[in-house]
Protein backbone atom coordinates (compact mmCIF):
# COMPACT_ATOMS: atom_id res chain seq x y z
CA UNK A 1 0.00 0.00 0.00
CA UNK A 2 2.91 2.35 0.83
CA UNK A 3 4.56 1.61 -2.51
CA UNK A 4 1.30 2.20 -4.37
CA UNK A 5 0.77 5.52 -2.57
CA UNK A 6 4.29 6.74 -3.37
CA UNK A 7 3.79 5.99 -7.07
CA UNK A 8 0.66 8.15 -7.18
CA UNK A 9 1.33 11.35 -9.26
CA UNK A 10 -0.70 13.47 -6.82
CA UNK A 11 1.33 12.21 -3.85
CA UNK A 12 4.60 12.90 -5.69
CA UNK A 13 3.47 16.43 -6.58
CA UNK A 14 2.51 17.10 -2.94
CA UNK A 15 5.90 15.79 -1.81
CA UNK A 16 7.69 18.20 -4.18
CA UNK A 17 5.79 21.21 -2.82
CA UNK A 18 5.95 20.56 0.94
CA UNK A 19 8.65 22.32 3.03
CA UNK A 20 11.94 20.51 3.52
CA UNK A 21 12.21 18.37 6.65
CA UNK A 22 15.42 17.67 8.53
CA UNK A 23 15.00 14.01 7.58
CA UNK A 24 15.09 15.01 3.88
CA UNK A 25 18.53 16.56 4.38
CA UNK A 26 19.80 13.48 6.24
CA UNK A 27 18.51 11.27 3.43
CA UNK A 28 20.13 13.55 0.83
CA UNK A 29 23.46 13.60 2.70
CA UNK A 30 23.62 9.80 2.64
CA UNK A 31 22.77 9.62 -1.06
CA UNK A 32 25.23 12.31 -2.21
CA UNK A 33 27.86 12.10 0.56
CA UNK A 34 27.23 15.63 1.85
CA UNK A 35 29.64 16.47 4.68
CA UNK A 36 28.07 16.25 8.15
CA UNK A 37 29.49 19.71 8.97
CA UNK A 38 27.37 21.22 6.15
CA UNK A 39 24.07 19.79 7.41
CA UNK A 40 23.33 22.45 10.12
CA UNK A 41 23.81 25.34 7.65
CA UNK A 42 21.80 23.58 4.95
CA UNK A 43 18.97 22.89 7.40
CA UNK A 44 19.01 26.52 8.64
CA UNK A 45 18.68 27.80 5.04
CA UNK A 46 15.87 25.39 4.17
CA UNK A 47 13.99 26.25 7.38
CA UNK A 48 14.48 30.04 7.15
CA UNK A 49 13.53 30.38 3.48
CA UNK A 50 10.93 27.61 3.38
CA UNK A 51 12.70 25.64 0.63
CA UNK A 52 10.36 23.07 -0.96
CA UNK A 53 11.41 19.45 -0.45
CA UNK A 54 15.18 19.66 -1.06
CA UNK A 55 15.22 16.08 -2.31
CA UNK A 56 13.46 17.39 -5.44
CA UNK A 57 14.37 21.10 -5.49
CA UNK A 58 18.11 20.32 -5.58
CA UNK A 59 17.48 19.51 -9.26
CA UNK A 60 15.69 22.83 -9.89
CA UNK A 61 18.83 24.92 -10.23
CA UNK A 62 17.27 28.37 -10.75
CA UNK A 63 14.97 28.13 -7.74
CA UNK A 64 17.72 27.00 -5.38
CA UNK A 65 20.02 29.68 -6.79
CA UNK A 66 17.51 32.39 -5.78
CA UNK A 67 17.35 31.02 -2.22
CA UNK A 68 21.13 31.12 -1.82
CA UNK A 69 21.31 34.64 -3.26
CA UNK A 70 18.76 35.75 -0.66
CA UNK A 71 20.76 34.02 2.10
CA UNK A 72 23.93 35.72 0.86
CA UNK A 73 22.29 39.17 0.92
CA UNK A 74 20.98 38.59 4.45
CA UNK A 75 24.36 37.35 5.71
CA UNK A 76 26.03 40.36 4.11
CA UNK A 77 23.68 42.81 5.83
CA UNK A 78 24.37 41.11 9.17
CA UNK A 79 28.15 41.17 8.52
CA UNK A 80 28.49 37.39 8.83
CA UNK A 81 31.60 36.99 6.65
CA UNK A 82 32.54 33.56 7.99
CA UNK A 83 29.05 32.27 7.26
CA UNK A 84 29.25 33.71 3.72
CA UNK A 85 32.38 31.65 3.00
CA UNK A 86 30.65 28.48 4.21
CA UNK A 87 27.58 29.43 2.17
CA UNK A 88 29.57 29.62 -1.08
CA UNK A 89 31.29 26.30 -0.45
CA UNK A 90 27.96 24.63 0.33
CA UNK A 91 26.32 26.08 -2.78
CA UNK A 92 29.20 24.86 -4.93
CA UNK A 93 28.82 21.32 -3.53
CA UNK A 94 25.09 21.36 -4.33
CA UNK A 95 25.82 22.70 -7.82
CA UNK A 96 28.16 19.75 -8.42
CA UNK A 97 25.49 17.31 -7.25
CA UNK A 98 23.00 18.95 -9.62
CA UNK A 99 25.46 18.99 -12.53
CA UNK A 100 26.37 15.32 -12.08
CA UNK A 101 22.70 14.31 -11.87
CA UNK A 102 22.02 15.57 -15.40
CA UNK A 103 23.97 13.39 -17.79
CA UNK A 104 24.46 14.13 -21.50
CA UNK A 105 25.08 10.98 -23.53
CA UNK A 106 25.14 12.36 -27.09
CA UNK A 107 26.02 15.55 -28.96
CA UNK A 108 22.47 15.38 -30.32
CA UNK A 109 21.45 17.03 -27.03
CA UNK A 110 23.49 20.18 -27.71
CA UNK A 111 21.30 23.21 -28.33
CA UNK A 112 21.99 25.98 -30.81
CA UNK A 113 24.29 28.69 -29.40
CA UNK A 114 26.13 26.19 -27.16
CA UNK A 115 29.70 27.41 -26.71
CA UNK A 116 32.34 24.81 -27.49
CA UNK A 117 36.07 24.70 -28.24
CA UNK A 118 37.99 22.90 -30.96
CA UNK A 119 41.19 21.49 -29.40
CA UNK A 120 44.15 21.46 -31.81
CA UNK A 121 46.94 18.86 -31.58
CA UNK A 122 49.26 21.37 -29.89
CA UNK A 123 46.66 21.95 -27.16
CA UNK A 124 45.44 25.32 -28.45
CA UNK A 125 41.69 25.84 -28.04
CA UNK A 126 39.66 27.66 -30.70
CA UNK A 127 36.36 28.98 -29.37
CA UNK A 128 33.26 28.28 -31.43
CA UNK A 129 29.46 28.11 -31.30
CA UNK A 130 26.88 25.50 -32.35
CA UNK A 131 24.84 27.13 -35.12
CA UNK A 132 22.64 24.18 -36.11
CA UNK A 133 22.14 20.74 -34.64
CA UNK A 134 20.49 18.47 -37.19
CA UNK A 135 19.76 14.75 -37.17
CA UNK A 136 22.91 13.84 -39.14
CA UNK A 137 25.37 16.60 -38.26
CA UNK A 138 26.29 19.68 -36.22
CA UNK A 139 27.18 22.98 -37.86
CA UNK A 140 29.85 24.84 -35.88
CA UNK A 141 30.81 28.48 -36.28
CA UNK A 142 34.52 29.21 -35.75
CA UNK A 143 36.57 32.43 -36.22
CA UNK A 144 36.94 33.13 -39.95
CA UNK A 145 40.60 34.01 -39.41
CA UNK A 146 41.21 30.46 -38.14
CA UNK A 147 39.21 28.88 -40.99
CA UNK A 148 41.37 30.78 -43.48
CA UNK A 149 44.59 29.59 -41.84
CA UNK A 150 46.68 26.45 -42.43
CA UNK A 151 45.85 25.24 -38.91
CA UNK A 152 42.28 24.27 -39.74
CA UNK A 153 41.77 20.47 -39.91
CA UNK A 154 40.99 18.90 -43.28
CA UNK A 155 37.63 17.24 -44.08
CA UNK A 156 37.40 13.61 -42.84
CA UNK A 157 40.00 14.28 -40.13
CA UNK A 158 39.13 13.54 -36.52
CA UNK A 159 38.95 16.50 -34.15
CA UNK A 160 38.55 16.96 -30.39
CA UNK A 161 36.03 19.33 -28.83
CA UNK A 162 35.11 20.45 -25.34
CA UNK A 163 31.98 22.16 -24.02
CA UNK A 164 30.07 22.86 -20.79
CA UNK A 165 26.55 21.57 -20.24
CA UNK A 166 23.86 24.02 -19.02
CA UNK A 167 24.60 22.75 -15.49
CA UNK A 168 28.28 23.65 -15.80
CA UNK A 169 29.61 20.10 -16.19
CA UNK A 170 32.61 20.02 -18.62
CA UNK A 171 32.54 17.40 -21.40
CA UNK A 172 34.95 16.33 -24.14
CA UNK A 173 34.38 14.31 -27.31
CA UNK A 174 36.15 13.30 -30.51
CA UNK A 175 34.35 13.29 -33.84
CA UNK A 176 35.02 13.54 -37.56
CA UNK A 177 34.85 16.67 -39.68
CA UNK A 178 32.48 16.02 -42.58
CA UNK A 179 33.05 19.16 -44.62
CA UNK A 180 33.14 22.97 -44.62
CA UNK A 181 30.06 24.80 -45.84
CA UNK A 182 29.82 28.36 -47.13
CA UNK A 183 27.13 30.57 -45.63
CA UNK A 184 26.07 34.12 -46.32
CA UNK A 185 27.85 35.40 -43.21
CA UNK A 186 30.94 33.16 -43.49
CA UNK A 187 31.86 29.47 -43.33
CA UNK A 188 30.75 26.64 -41.03
CA UNK A 189 32.50 23.45 -39.97
CA UNK A 190 30.16 20.46 -40.36
CA UNK A 191 30.92 17.63 -37.92
CA UNK A 192 29.30 14.26 -37.24
CA UNK A 193 27.52 13.40 -33.98
CA UNK A 194 29.25 11.50 -31.16
CA UNK A 195 27.92 9.33 -28.34
CA UNK A 196 31.38 8.95 -26.76
CA UNK A 197 31.16 11.92 -24.42
CA UNK A 198 33.62 12.07 -21.55
CA UNK A 199 32.91 13.98 -18.34
CA UNK A 200 36.03 15.91 -17.48
CA UNK A 201 37.21 16.31 -13.89
CA UNK A 202 35.17 18.98 -12.15
CA UNK A 203 37.25 21.90 -10.94
CA UNK A 204 37.58 22.65 -7.23
CA UNK A 205 36.01 26.11 -7.66
CA UNK A 206 33.43 27.76 -9.85
CA UNK A 207 35.01 29.59 -12.76
CA UNK A 208 33.54 32.82 -14.11
CA UNK A 209 34.42 33.82 -17.68
CA UNK A 210 35.25 37.48 -18.15
CA UNK A 211 37.11 39.58 -20.69
CA UNK A 212 38.47 42.61 -18.90
CA UNK A 213 41.67 44.61 -19.41
CA UNK A 214 43.93 44.53 -16.36
CA UNK A 215 47.49 45.29 -15.34
CA UNK A 216 49.77 42.92 -13.43
CA UNK A 217 53.00 43.43 -11.51
CA UNK A 218 55.17 41.65 -9.02
CA UNK A 219 54.47 42.76 -5.44
CA UNK A 220 56.09 43.15 -2.08
CA UNK A 221 54.09 42.54 1.09
CA UNK A 222 53.87 44.69 4.17
CA UNK A 223 51.85 44.26 7.37
CA UNK A 224 50.26 47.16 9.23
CA UNK A 225 50.01 47.44 13.02
CA UNK A 226 46.86 45.29 12.99
CA UNK A 227 48.64 42.50 11.14
CA UNK A 228 46.73 43.06 7.89
CA UNK A 229 48.85 42.27 4.83
CA UNK A 230 49.10 44.89 2.09
CA UNK A 231 50.28 44.03 -1.41
CA UNK A 232 52.35 46.85 -2.95
CA UNK A 233 53.21 46.77 -6.70
CA UNK A 234 56.95 46.57 -7.28
CA UNK A 235 58.37 47.28 -10.72
CA UNK A 236 56.63 47.76 -14.05
CA UNK A 237 52.96 47.04 -14.58
CA UNK A 238 52.14 44.92 -17.65
CA UNK A 239 48.90 45.35 -19.62
CA UNK A 240 47.02 42.05 -19.95
CA UNK A 241 43.50 40.64 -20.32
CA UNK A 242 41.70 38.77 -17.54
CA UNK A 243 39.92 35.77 -19.13
CA UNK A 244 38.40 34.02 -16.11
CA UNK A 245 38.48 34.08 -12.33
CA UNK A 246 37.64 31.62 -9.55
CA UNK A 247 38.14 31.00 -5.86
CA UNK A 248 41.43 29.27 -6.65
CA UNK A 249 42.98 31.72 -9.11
CA UNK A 250 42.54 33.35 -12.48
CA UNK A 251 43.58 33.05 -16.12
CA UNK A 252 45.42 35.98 -17.69
CA UNK A 253 46.38 36.44 -21.35
CA UNK A 254 49.28 38.63 -22.43
CA UNK A 255 51.63 39.09 -25.35
DSSP codes joined into one string, 142-178: --HHHHTSTTSPPTT-EEEEEEE-TTS-EEEEEEEEE
pLDDT at site 203:
63
Check: CB of residue 160 under 8 Å from CB of residue 172: yes
- Tell me how far apart the 2 most distant CA atoms of the chain are, in Å: 76
Residue-level pLDDT at 204: 65
Helix ranges restricted to H, 102-251: 144-147
pLDDT value of position 129: 94
Cβ contacts of 117 within 8 Å, gap of 6 or more: 125, 126, 127, 128, 161, 162, 163
pLDDT score, position 249: 86
* pLDDT of 202: 59
Mean pLDDT in runs of 10 for the chain (255 residues)? 84 88 89 85 93 84 86 88 85 77 84 92 91 94 92 94 82 95 86 90 71 91 87 89 86 88
Whole-number pLDDT of residue 98: 73
CATH number for the domain running over 107-199 = 2.30.110.10
| Dihedral pair phi/psi, residue 226, rounded to 5° | -90, 0
Reported pTM: 0.54
Contact assessment for residue 13 and residue 56, using Cβ atoms and an 8 Å cutoff:
no
Q: At what angle do helices 39-48 and 22-32 cross, to 10 degrees?
A: 140
Q: Which of 98, 84, 178, 171 is nearest to 139 (CA)?
A: 178
Distance from C-alpha of 168 to C-alpha of 191, rounded to nearest angstrom: 23
Give the pLDDT of residue 179. Answer: 95
- The bridge status of strand 249-253 relative to strand 207-216 is unpaired
Asked if 247 contacts 88 with a C-beta cutoff of 8 angstroms, the reply is yes
pLDDT for 180: 95
Amino acid sequence: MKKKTEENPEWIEAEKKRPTKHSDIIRLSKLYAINQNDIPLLWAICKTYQVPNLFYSIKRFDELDCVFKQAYNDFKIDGQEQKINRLFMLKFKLDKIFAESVNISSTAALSADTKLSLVLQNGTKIGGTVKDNEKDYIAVSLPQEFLNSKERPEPLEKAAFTFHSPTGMPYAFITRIIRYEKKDDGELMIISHSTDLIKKTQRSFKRKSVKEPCRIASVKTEKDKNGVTAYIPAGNKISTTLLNISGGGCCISSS
